[in-house]
Amino acid sequence: MDQPDKVLITGGHEIGGLASFAEALLEGFQQLGVPCEIISPTRIWHRWRELRDPRVLKILSTTAVFAAPLSRRAICVSHGFPTAGIIGWKKFIGHLAADKVANRFRQVCVATVSQYAAIHLRAILGVRVDAVVPNAVRQIFLDPPATYQQRFLITYAGRLHPAKNLRLLLPSVIDLVEERPEVRACIIGDGPERATLEQIAKRHPRIEFTGPLDRTTLRHRLRETKVFVSGCPTEALGITYLEALSQGCNVVMPAGGGGLEIAPQLIGSQIQLVPLTLDRTSVSAAIRRALAFEGRPINIESYAPAAIASAYLCVGEWLNKHGFSRMTTGAPFVCCGRTSAWNDHGSE
């Protein structure tokens, strides 16, 4: 493999999926012995020599993609499908422009973290997607709990943002807490909706808002969790789904988004789907089913940091040797470290 001398990753917010993405990839490259550094998107403009250096692999988040015209051997990662109704028209146009810019340069490729995101970018926005590489899970979550003790916790972990629809899930969580005295709920994270959510749950002492937690404490809470809930129907993949399943949680999630790709064989058992309407009756019923199911930790080695870092090295090798263009066929389609042909029509 034509291994780079160094990898630069642009991160995002201090908390949330982009931070987890960058930190897990850093772990993976370190395990492979490849020098790696995380920098903020705004700092990428100060590294123009490395941007132009094909010996340095660049993994750029959306806000750093406008550095693509200066870049060689750069992978621009789209972490989801931008929707104007959620992020606003200004950011939507910025996301679309960034992906279109990346498509114009031979030494730059566009990757997504799920086939869900790739299909929507290609079919709706006309963005050429060159590779699909799923998110990595941080190394600490690869160790399942030694024993599977009795659990009574319903947990949410992530940003407390309107797009996550936790305000629609919380009434159902309250229903189950009131219905079953042994059940408690834990809301992990922070964001603009926290005050609203705390107001909804203020009369329920068995519903705890923890704020952000470090990864060790988060893993401990997941090991106490029976049901992990999520309400985002446009989740590109869902690192938190992987973290929860790795620790033996049952997952209640919308019937949409890239999370459906993780373990389709578990749908109906350890994974319970709810309608995209997220109506209270359906969500409450799904949580009851999940509470009744005896979950077990699932193996997520294919999402290990080193496996996903190796997949990015594979894409970077192809990029360095061949480049991409609108007429390119046979570009690498990479998923969990496995490679096959990806043609211009988006099929294997």
Query: What CATH number corresponds to the domain at position 29?
Result: 3.40.50
Please tell me whether residues 280 and 200 are part of one structural domain. Answer: yes
Contact 260, 267 (CB under 8 A): yes
Domain range for residue 232?
A: 139-292
User: How do the pLDDT tens digits run along the chain, 348 residues long?
Assistant: 578 999 999 875 544 567 788 899 999 999 999 999 999 888 888 888 998 898 999 998 877 777 877 888 899 888 877 666 666 777 777 777 777 777 777 788 889 999 999 988 888 888 888 889 999 999 999 988 877 778 999 999 999 999 899 999 999 999 999 999 999 999 999 999 999 999 999 989 999 999 999 999 999 999 999 999 999 998 999 899 999 999 999 999 999 999 999 999 999 999 999 999 999 999 999 999 999 998 899 999 999 999 999 999 988 888 877 666 543 444 445 555 444 433 333 333
User: Looking at this protein, which amino acid is placed at residue 25?
Assistant: L
Residues 6+ apart with CB under 8 A from 277: none
Closest CA to 242 of 328, 134, 161: 134
Residue 213 included in any domain: yes
How far is CA 296 from each of CA 99, 146, 268, rounded to the nearest angstrom?
A: 39, 11, 14
**What pLDDT is recorded for position 277?**
96
The neighbour count for residue 127, using CB atoms within 10 Å, is: 23
For the chain, the domain total comes to: 2
> Cα separation of 45 and 28, whole Å?
25
Please tell me whether residues 70 and 132 are part of one structural domain. Answer: yes
Q: Is the dihedral of CA 308, 324, 13, 191 positive or negative?
A: negative
Please tell me whether residues 148 and 172 are part of one structural domain. Answer: yes
Residue 298 included in any domain: no
**What pLDDT is recorded for position 348?**
35
Residue 348 included in any domain: no
**What pLDDT is recorded for position 324?**
60
> Cα separation of 118 and 337, whole Å?
17
**What pLDDT is recorded for position 325?**
53
Residue 38 included in any domain: yes
Please tell me whether residues 110 and 228 are part of one structural domain. Answer: no
Please tell me whether residues 102 and 36 are part of one structural domain. Answer: yes
The reported pTM is 0.86
